[in-house]
Amino acid sequence: MDLDLLLDDLRTMIECESPSSDLAAVARSAAVVAEIGTARLGVAPETLVADGRTHLRWRLGAGPHRVLVVGHHDTVWPIGTLQRTPYSVVGGVLRGPGCFDMLAGLALAFHALPGLDGVTLLVTGDEELGSPSSRGLVEDEARAHEAALVLEASADGGALKTERKGVSLYDVRVTGRAAHAGLEPEQGVNATLELAHQALAVSALADPALGTTVTPTLLAAGTTTNTVPAAGSFAVDVRVRTRSEQDRVDAALRALRPTLDGAAVEVAGGPNRPPLEAASSAALLARARALSPEPLSAVAVGGASDGNLTAGVGTPTLDGLGAVGGGAHAEDEHVLVEHLLPRATLLRALVTDLLDRPLADPTNSLAAAGRGRP
């Protein structure tokens, strides 16, 4: 593999800014990513547009296609960020908007996968928004493959991500009754007070021992300072390590009842992404460790990715196989250049091994040894 060529490809992708919310920018980015991928992989992708968002899918070789490699080309950075933080490589540290999360992962795929037969590379354009238009695509592809490898950036020190918390998002809405706050407040039903009761009840659903967080966030109520609020709402962010916890919190939120006479409570929303549990990654982690010339660490993280979706449909999933560096979504976003080729080599070795020895093979000693590992 040619490091200089890989860096050239990464620079080209970074310099085509691709904020998720800008459909035209995402389309331009998809065209650039498609051109680079075609040149390196020797085959053009399918261009898939859903709700105006552009995704790319490569089928490598004649198949059957058994290994799914997943990435995304959208970023969190608005147009113009490149002027403030341009592409640079200084002292072995590469910078530029979206370099770590996760354009470097795409560059790794384009240089690791050429010549392999039986791989699907799926590159979506809305992951940073929660994959609203690509979720079904990701899940359908995962169901059709034996394993999913996710090119999101690594955790600290290059650690792979073997657990990701599931995410649920809710809106708790309260209806009360308006009244003049000075003349006859007793005639009203104060939505702000009801929201306070509900926020405390919601917060109490957290279970730190199990890693479950239930956090009331954005809140709004009322219309004027001299009116008893007739309505209000607050958002709730839920993060869980297991599907059973996600189900427990969901049931409890839907069971909320008003505290004040005359108030009404409605709960909208629900699970957004299922958790990526350790059991889903265990066999793949064992494979990666056996193939890596250096020790590989693994961690659980709170953030979600499309790896949650692939694991959620039952496909063994290993995440964090992308760049080593840091600063995702932050001004100090960076990639450590010295790790790029070793990471690409590991990706190619892991994909090749999975093509040669399927996880589903009961005689596969590595897969069997990996089952049930934390």
- Which residues are catalytically annotated? 74, 127
3-state secondary structure the chain: CCHHHHHHHHHHHHCCCCECCCHHHHHHHHHHHHHHHHHHHCCCCEEEEECCEEEEEEEECCCCCCEEEEEECCECCCCCHHHHCCCEEECCEEECCCHHHHHHHHHHHHHHCCCCCCEEEEEECCHHHCCCCCHHHHHHHHHCCCEEEECCCCCHHHCEEEEECEEEEEEEEEECECCECCCCHHHCECHHHHHHHHHHHHHCCCEHHHCEEEEEEEEEECCCCCECCCEEEEEEEEEECCHHHHHHHHHHHHCCCCCCCCCEEEEEEEEEECCECHHHHHHHHHHHHHHCCCCCCEEEECCCCHHHHHHHCCCCEEECCCCCEECCCCCCCEEEHHHHHHHHHHHHHHHHHHHHCCCCCCCCHHHHHHCCCC
Q: Do the bridges between strand 119-124 and strand 67-72 make them parallel or antiparallel, or are there none, so unpaired?
A: parallel
Short-list 58, 73, 147, CA closest to 104: 73
The two structure tokens encoding residue 188: 């009203």
